[in-house]
Amino acid sequence: MHRTTRLLLSAATLALAASPALAADSTDPIMIPTHNWSSQIVMSNVVGQMFESMGNSVEYVSTDSQAVYEAVRLGDATLELEVWEGAFGASFRSALEKGGLHDVTTHAAITREDWWYPMWTKEACPGLPDWKALNDCAALFVTPETGDKGRFLGGPVDWLKHDAEKVEALGMNFTVVNAGSAAALWAEIAAAEKDKTPIVLFNWTPNFAEAVWPGEFVEFPAWEDGCDKDPAKGPLPDKVYDCGNPANGYMKIAAWDGMKDKWPTAYAALQKVNFNNAQIAEMAKLVDIDGMEPEDAAAAWLAANEAVWKPWTE
């Protein structure tokens, strides 16, 4: 073969081998939604800064944590990094049914979100963690705001939408009061700790809190798929929400269906993103205990964990 032809051919082969680079990512920003709990904001910044290290442009949008599934379905937000089964499974499933977003991958983390108490509460109510024992102890949780009912301190209203339905379905002597923010939950635990006042509130794992306040989740009737929709599921034949949240829940990543064509390189990296419980608890700790800003926490996490995330970008 003529030398020039051979050179041209190998140049063509090289161009073909490099063809993924021809389908370059759009220069439009990847829209990353952030919510109102620390690990999600830090993780969003971690993955956003990872995309930036690959040459992508990123924008963060503060978004309601239930409405985000509709936003991702329509492509207004590009992805969601923390789809917690307990709080968001229902919104995620209904968006999947409508179409436009998909399940990209599942983190290694096993999650739980439910009624929880710090250990001193059990000294006052020794039958815990059983929910019936909690219900018999309702008087310990009475506040001026809740009259003769015990107070369950729920998270911000956009998280779990069905605590009140659970109280109603199980006939509990409790009233749900929603905290305005995650920070308000931690402040209430810290205040209760001073004189060991019994408290039952919404909490989750992985989170920084488990390293600060030993505690337990209340054991409700076990979650069954469909318990939120089908009265036949759960122990009571005529009630929905007669069950706890999943005790071994998933945490998924969801993305807009158009992401893989618009930002193929970033999408390939996203498919490899995977965090475990310890990593997610650490992301929350950097903000909630160490007091860092989320973007600084993300930069610190990336600097300390190159061996974890660099391979995702290659």
Using CB under 6 A as the criterion, which residues of the chain lie in contact with ligand TMO when the complex forms?
37, 84, 87, 113, 155, 159, 204
Nearer to ligand TMO, 31 or 280 (CB): 280
- Least distance in angstroms from the C-beta of 172 to ligand TMO: 20
Residue 169 parent element (H or E): helix 163-170
Nearer to ligand TMO, 87 or 153 (CB): 87
Nearer to ligand TMO, 56 or 215 (CB): 215
Dist CA 163 CA 147 (whole Å): 18
Nearer to ligand TMO, 37 or 267 (CB): 37
- Least distance in angstroms from the C-beta of 20 to ligand TMO: 35
Nearer to ligand TMO, 51 or 88 (CB): 88
Nearer to ligand TMO, 57 or 165 (CB): 165
Q: Which two tokens stand for residue 216?
A: 């337990």
- Residues forming beta bridges with residue 142, ordered by sequence position: 150
Residue 207 parent element (H or E): none
- Least distance in angstroms from the C-beta of 80 to ligand TMO: 12
Q: Does 129 sit behind a cis peptide bond, omega within 30 degrees of 0 on the bond before it?
A: yes
Dist CA 8 CA 12 (whole Å): 6
Give the β-pairing of 201-205 and 112-118. Answer: antiparallel
Nearer to ligand TMO, 56 or 65 (CB): 65
- Least distance in angstroms from the C-beta of 82 to ligand TMO: 7
- Least distance in angstroms from the C-beta of 64 to ligand TMO: 12
- Least distance in angstroms from the C-beta of 247 to ligand TMO: 14
Q: 10 Å Cβ neighbour count for 60?
A: 17
- Residues forming beta bridges with residue 178, ordered by sequence position: 154
Dist CA 143 CA 148 (whole Å): 8
Q: In the chain, what's the furthest Cα-to-Cα distance? A: 94
Number of H helices, E strands in the chain: 14, 10
- Least distance in angstroms from the C-beta of 171 to ligand TMO: 25
Whether 291 and 186 have beta carbons less than 8 Å apart is answered as no
